[in-house]
Structures are given as structure tokens and as C-alpha cells.
Amino acid sequence: MRTRGFRSFRGSSGSGRSGGSGRRTRPAVAVALLAAGAAVLAGGGPVGAAPAAVHRTKQDQQEQQEQADGCDVTKSVPPSTDDGPAVKAIKARRSLVIGVDQNSYRWGARNPNTGQIEGFDIDLARAIGAAVMGDPEKVVLKPVATADRIDAIKKGRVDLIVRTMTINCKRMEDVAFSKPYFNITQRVLVPTASPAKNIDDAVKDQRVCAAAGSTALTVVTEKKTARQVVTVENQLDCLVLMQLGKVDATMTDNGLAAGQAAQDQTVRIVDGEAQPEVVGVAMLKDSTDLTARVNQVLADYYARGDWARSYEHWLKPYMLNEADRYWPGTR
């Protein structure tokens, strides 16, 4: 994948700011980062890491989420190539800052060989950056923690978030979203020795981990069956806690769950999934022209086959081999 021409902050992967060390220096985190590095160096994980299939149509998934949320999560402004005030201000500043993940294997993770952040979301972030700015040297990829995504946008630390961010009604009150670019559901990981067969088994009377500010945390909290809900700043920290025996299960979306199962052969995904959702690019609510520009990039990205190529490269071996299942398309 293309690595030159895009700058990235190397700061704390949990803080979302450059240059800090923060909580990510603890030894537990090093365990997972070493596992991630080994997985990247190995060049891939087993096909058996793919989640079990639960067949739903794209429209069924979207309608179920709309019914639960009470809003149309696919609604966004029409695509446009016009440069409005938000895009012009970014170009005048000569820097587009995109908030990304550097902890999620195959989605957004730092390659120890190159030092570059890479993955499915990173391919999309770079495509957006190149289209908006025209010059890759003017694009900055900045790691942002799960819990810090909305704050980072509202406080101007980033212009966009491309980080497996679920679109829902509550978040739509705070930030604007592009059209969806991926269908997901919530899944549960457990250690391979766990007797749990499904989500209910894995959660009931167990210590369950989820990232703060994530949809997974809302889902597991609303179940009200866990003995303890443990929150962490980034979803990779849940894998560390499972490795150390401090939690019994992790809830996260199916893409991230598949990445963790591929990254660590001592965990597996249980049967069943919860709350069909869609993922989008987030930005300031009043940046309507930027939203329209991102929607144009998404339309072009899919039409050129770039979405499919990125999916084939990063995700197909670890998820259901049905690309149509994951592209939300239009309605």
C-alpha cells in the first residue's frame, strides 16, 4: 500500500494527541502491541477467524437500526465536488487532519516494519485526503482514542474521523456524518477455553469489556446481565485484559472482533450478533460542504473499485467472504 506522502503523529495511541505517552506505556498494553506486531510481520491470520454468518439483507439491517434509533442513519447531504467555506479554510491552512485508529489490526494499525499506519480505514482516509487536498504532503493522520472521537472533532483537533465510527441518532446531534461506508454488527469475543456458545452465555454473570464511548458499551450495558462492565479507552485494551484474565469477554463490532481473533489465536468469536449498524466518516455539523465532498469521494471510491480492492486486501480473509454484505450502498 502507498505509504509515502502522508504524515502521521506518533504520540500516545490512547490520547489522540501527538508526543504524549500517557496510559499506553503500561506493560499490559505492550503485550497486545507485540501481538499486533507479530501478526503484521506474519502477513495475515487464519480464514477460520471469520465470524459465523447470520443472513440479513442490507435493507433489513438498516431498517432494524432505524427502528431502534428513531432516525435515518443513512441520511446525509448530496455528493459534490464544490469547495465551500469549510474546504477552503482547510486548504488555506494547508493541512487536513484526519483522526484514525492505530490499534485495530487490519483497520488501522501501525506497521512495525515501516512505522506507517495502515488498514482498511486508512486506505479510505488517504483517498479522502488526496481528493480534498490534491497534495498528499498536506494530509496528517492523527491517532484518536475511541472515547475521544467526538471531542476531537468539536474541539478542532481533527477535521475528520475515519475510525469505524457507528452512525446513530445521539452522535448525529453532535457531529455530521457522511453516507455509510460499511455495515457492521456487535459481536462478542471470549478466550478459546470459555464454554460460552453465544452472546447471552458470554455476557451473563461475566466481566465484560468494552471501549468507552463505543456502541458496544451501550449494547452490553443495556443488556443488564453482565456481572461487571469494564470500560477502557481503546478496544485493543480489552484484548489485553482478556489475555491477563482480568475480563471474561469483549464486546465490539464484527470487523474489530474479526481482527482481534486473527491477531490472537487464544480468543474466538461466539455465535450471534447484536444491533445491526452502519459506519461513516464524522466531521463538524456546520461543515456541510466538507460532508458533501467526502460523500463524493465515497461514491467515486466505490465506483472505481477501490473499496472492493481494499476490502479484498485487508478484510476478506478475516470476515465473511461476502463483500455485498458490508457495502451499505444507497436506498
Comparing C-alpha atoms, which of 130, 143, 120, 124 is closest to residue 255?
Answer: 120
pLDDT at 320: 60
Find the mean pLDDT for residues 302-326. 87
Q: Which residues pair with 252 in a beta bridge?
A: 187
Q: What domains lie within the chain, and their CATH numbers?
A: 7-46+71-183+278-326 (3.40.190.10), 184-275 (3.40.190.10)
pLDDT at 262: 86
Please, which pLDDT band fits residue 69 given cuts at 50, 70 and 90?
low
Determine the Cα–Cα distance for residues 152 and 175; give it in Å rounded to an integer.
11
Return the DSSP state at 247.
Answer: -
Please, which pLDDT band fits residue 62 given cuts at 50, 70 and 90?
very low
Q: 108 with 119: CB under 8 angstroms?
A: yes
Q: 16 with 155: CB under 8 angstroms?
A: no
Please, which pLDDT band fits residue 5 given cuts at 50, 70 and 90?
low
As a residue count, the chain comes to 331
Got the DSSP string for 10-29?
-S-TTTSSTT--GGGGSHHH
Question: Which residue in the block uniquely carries the three cell numbers 499486533?
Answer: 36
pLDDT at 26: 37
Is the pLDDT reported for residue 116 higher than 80?
Answer: yes
Secondary structure class of 97 (helix, strand, coil): strand
pTM reported for the whole predicted model: 0.76
Tens of pLDDT, residues 177-200? 999 999 999 999 999 999 999 999
pLDDT at 195: 96
User: Cβ neighbours of residue 73 under 8 Å, at least 6 residues apart?
Assistant: 62, 65, 66, 167, 168, 169, 172, 177, 180, 277, 278
Average model confidence (pLDDT) for the chain? 82
